[in-house]
Amino acid sequence: MKPELIVRSACEEWAAEARVPADLADRALRARTGRHPFKLALAGGATALLVGATAVAVAFGGGSAHPGPDHAFEPVALSSDTTLRTDLGSAFPRRLVAAGHTAVAAYFTRHTRMVNGRSTLQRTWHLYSPSTGEYEQTPWAYISVAPGMERAAVLQGPLPATRVGVLDMRTRKVVHWIQLDHPVGGAAWSPDGRRLLLTAYNGSPDVEAGPGKSSRTGYYIVDSAAGSGAFHSLPARSDNFNARQDMGWSRDGTLIWAPTATVPTKVFYTRTGERRPAPAHEADYTDGEEAGLSPNGTLLPAFGPSPGPAVTVRNVVTGKAVAVLPIEQDKAWADDRHLFAIGCDPQNCQRKNEFRNRLLLVDLDGKITPLTGYRRFDRAGAWVPVFTHR
């Protein structure tokens, strides 16, 4: 892939999130199609959700809200359905896309516009409907889907929001609003679906901010059993140039993490904010790959070798390469042998054609199964998948 194309694509994406960092050249030459310089808590939880065979779906709670019997949710088991679901005929997915234990629970399209002289990223969300089997456009500014794909946390725009809605994905109705003293701009369900991690900001997390200028102020952990959650102060890291610095969960849900712009890529804390060492290989630098550790905790993808497209999967115990896959980026694990990935046409993947890509399922033997139609990632309005355990 041509370096000038990679640099151009990276600069366009960074323009939506932050001013160009001092190490732009080094970062841009590591960038490639389908990669997002900002990290979403939504997009990073699929691997952790595969750890348990079953989990309890959510009850509501949080902020200053108090639970009532009319709002409690019955525990449900995660789906055992591993049917392959594709939608090859649409530029934007209409029907459910899924493989193994994981599904595209939602997706958003991205646009940037100038607000008060600053570049602002806007998302248009499409959320899966269990009632219709299709994705439907929503009015929400931010969405996080719970394991089991029955409930979603939703935020109204403009961000940050002072309340979080718990949405029944079948009825498309908010069954409970959680009022918050500190406005939030991001949300992530715990791997067991019992808690919500809400990242608080005192300004929009999607407006160009400049290095060290993120408006993150802290976080809530909303526990369904307690029905409320305390606010914890945790200002943004000064070494991270991203305005959005959403927090996420460790694979087993015992710790939380904040993103960095350096190595290690994540800093871990207890739920109450005490610093802790990173769990093994969960903060390993993987050059922007999103899938992380395989569900069994033994395999880790990383970009390369150059010139690509290629991603190498290694055994974290032995360090040996298990597979070199002809893909541009790994996105999430479907199971211990299959990855969701982004890839371009293998017969025509040079110059601008590297940005014409689609969602794939690839196994460790290199077999590729297309899941969606092609998209143009280098253009405004490209869709971005969000994964969860189905």
Which token pair is 173? 């109705």
Q: Where are the domains of the chain?
A: 3-389
- Long-range pairs for 354-360: beta carbons < 8 A, 24 or more residues apart: 354/1, 354/5, 354/32, 354/33, 354/309, 354/328, 355/5, 355/9, 355/33, 355/379, 357/33, 357/34, 357/328, 359/97, 359/104, 359/331, 359/385, 360/327
**Nearest to 361, CA basis, from 334, 389, 388:** 334
Identify the CA nearest to 377 among candidates 28, 26, 16, 36.
36
> For residues 92 and 388, what is the distance between their CA atoms, to the nearest angstrom?
19
Say if pTM beats, i.e. exceeds, 0.85. no
* CA-angle at 290, arms to 264 and 6, nearest 5°: 90
The tens-digit pLDDT sequence of the chain (390 residues) is 333 333 334 443 434 433 333 333 333 333 444 443 333 333 334 444 444 433 333 333 344 443 333 333 444 457 788 999 999 988 899 999 999 999 999 999 999 888 888 889 999 999 999 999 999 999 999 999 999 999 999 999 999 999 999 999 999 999 989 999 999 999 999 999 989 999 999 999 999 887 778 999 999 999 765 557 899 999 998 888 899 999 999 999 999 999 998 888 899 999 999 999 999 999 986 656 799 999 999 999 999 898 878 999 999 999 999 999 999 999 999 999 999 999 987 667 766 667 789 999 999 999 999 999 998 877 778 899 999 999
- Evaluate whether 141 touches 161 at the Cβ level (below 8 Å): yes
What is the Cα–Cα distance from 201 to 232, expressed in whole angstroms? 12
Reading the block at residue 146, the tokens are 């719970």
Report d(CA 284, CA 289) in Å as an integer.
11
Do 354 and 32 contact (CB within 8 A), yes or no?
yes
> 3-389, what's its fold?
Methylamine Dehydrogenase; Chain H (2.130.10)
**Residue 305 preceded by cis peptide, ω within 30:** yes
| Helices assigned H by DSSP within 16-144 | 24-28, 46-49
**b/e string for 30-42 if b means 16 or more Cβ within 10 A?**
ebbbbbbbbbbbb
